[in-house]
């Protein structure tokens, strides 16, 4: 997948290209979206989502990299789990699936994968809130930082109610349940605002502070390798409605210190930036790169006019834009040849690797794309 359009020059300041692309990376063995993934010591690990319980690894340092199957996930398959590498192990948090019954529910579970023994362990801990629509990163390589999530009680209750109506054969009740769920204002969804931290050494959770706006789901999050600051881009503020807000924070003395940053700019030819959910993000040579995602054009204006079911009549749109952020400003740096969202972002030195995702209509892909900023231009392979 190549870039359709490249900005001739970006206002990024002087930067040096510190690495070249390694060997071209092969496609994922199965169409892969809504899954989890992380990199440890140059090896990418992915699984869940449309891969079901299957997990795979890819050694990017190999002369001829190839995907290999590893131990299957030990419990129920789930979508939207998140993974991070800590202390040479892979940790998987949350997700949504038929965890303990035949009804969808949000998980608060944590699993650990040990590459040295190819084994999974379910940890004796639970996240303080249910986690789906969340993002997990690490600033120090030792602790996990968890951002965002839907509200487990509201989300689980919605599917329990739908199951009750379906078993009763009551279509009118099903319609009312759907209408009630989708037609509330942002504040009444109680999306997670707390920025959580998990320490695998002590098996303890802590609250680093609250996002300085509302809770989100599906935000793009990246860690700046130069100063370990965490950048949060957009996400859902309620089902079908995104935000263009961004924020940056550092963790100091056990607390998140937030700095408000400029909203994501509109795409070329558009007046409103709806915000994106499910975008890819990472850093290359000091520049934040945000790619793709999905939104509902027209929903922001509709909500501002008082329409709580803001995306009613709007068309879900998978995005192809590539935005960069440097020196305090956003730039529309180019476009993918095909829209892409809801895959896995892997930070590999000064390169960003996009693994899987879905394109227009929700079709899962097998693509693996490497992105970097070189001499002021975005380059893909």
Residue bearing tokens 């992380």: 38
Give the position of tokens 């009630």. 180
Q: In sequence order, what are the beta bridge partners of 261?
A: 246
Which residue in 236, 248, 274, 351 is the catalytic one? 236
Q: Is 157 helix (H, G, I), strand (E, B) or coil?
A: helix
Active site residue 236: yes
**3 state DSSP class of 109:** coil
Distance CA 151, CA 360 (A): 27
Structure-token pair, residue 127: 């996240």
- Residue 354 and residue 368 in contact, taking contact as beta carbons nearer than 8 Å: yes
What is the three-class DSSP state of 356? Answer: coil
> Which residues are CB-contacts of 241 (< 8 A; sequence separation ≥ 6)?
186, 296, 299, 300, 303, 310, 311
Rounded CA separation 276/351 (Å): 22
Contact 217, 210 (CB under 8 A): no
Length of the chain: 381
Active site residues: 236
């Amino acid at each position: 997948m190549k870039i359709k359009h490249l900005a001739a020059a970006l206002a990024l300041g002087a930067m040096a290209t510190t690495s070249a692309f390694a060997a071209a990376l092969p496609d994922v063995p199965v169409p892969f979206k809504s899954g989890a993934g992380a990199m440890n010591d140059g090896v990418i690990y992915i699984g869940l989502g449309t891969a079901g319980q299957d997990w795979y690894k890819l050694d990017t340092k190999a002369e001829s990299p190839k995907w290999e199957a590893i131990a299957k996930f030990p419990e129920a398959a789930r979508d939207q789990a998140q993974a991070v590498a800590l202390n040479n192990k892979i940790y998987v948090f949350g997700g949504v699936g038929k965890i303990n019954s035949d009804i969808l529910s949000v998980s608060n579970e944590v699993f650990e994968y040990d590459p040295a023994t190819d084994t999974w362990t379910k940890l004796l801990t639970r996240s303080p809130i249910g986690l789906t629509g969340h993002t997990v990163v690490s600033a120090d390589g030792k602790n996990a930082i968890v951002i965002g999530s839907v509200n487990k009680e509201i989300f689980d209750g919605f599917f329990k109610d739908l199951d009750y109506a379906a078993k009763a054969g009551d279509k009118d009740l099903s319609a009312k349940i759907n209408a009630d769920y989708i037609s509330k204002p942002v504040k009444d969804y109680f999306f997670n605002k707390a920025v959580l931290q998990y320490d695998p050494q002590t098996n303890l959770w802590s609250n680093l502070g609250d996002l300085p706006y509302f809770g989100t789901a599906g935000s793009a999050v990246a860690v700046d390798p130069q100063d370990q600051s965490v950048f949060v881009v957009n996400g859902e503020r309620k089902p079908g409605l995104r935000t263009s807000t961004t924020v940056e924070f550092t963790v100091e003395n056990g607390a998140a210190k937030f700095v408000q940053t400029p909203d994501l700019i509109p795409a070329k030819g558009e007046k409103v930036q709806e915000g994106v959910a499910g975008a890819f993000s990472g850093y290359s040579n000091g520049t934040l790169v945000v790619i793709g995602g999905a939104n509902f054009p027209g929903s922001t204006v509709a909500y501002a006019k008082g329409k709580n079911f803001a995306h009613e009549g709007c068309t879900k749109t998978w995005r192809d834009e590539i935005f960069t952020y440097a020196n305090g400003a956003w730039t529309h740096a180019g476009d993918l040849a095909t829209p892409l969202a809801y895959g896995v972002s892997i930070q590999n030195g000064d390169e960003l690797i996009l693994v899987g995702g879905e394109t227009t209509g929700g079709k899962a892909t097998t693509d693996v794309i490497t992105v970097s900023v070189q001499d002021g231009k975005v380059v893909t392979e």
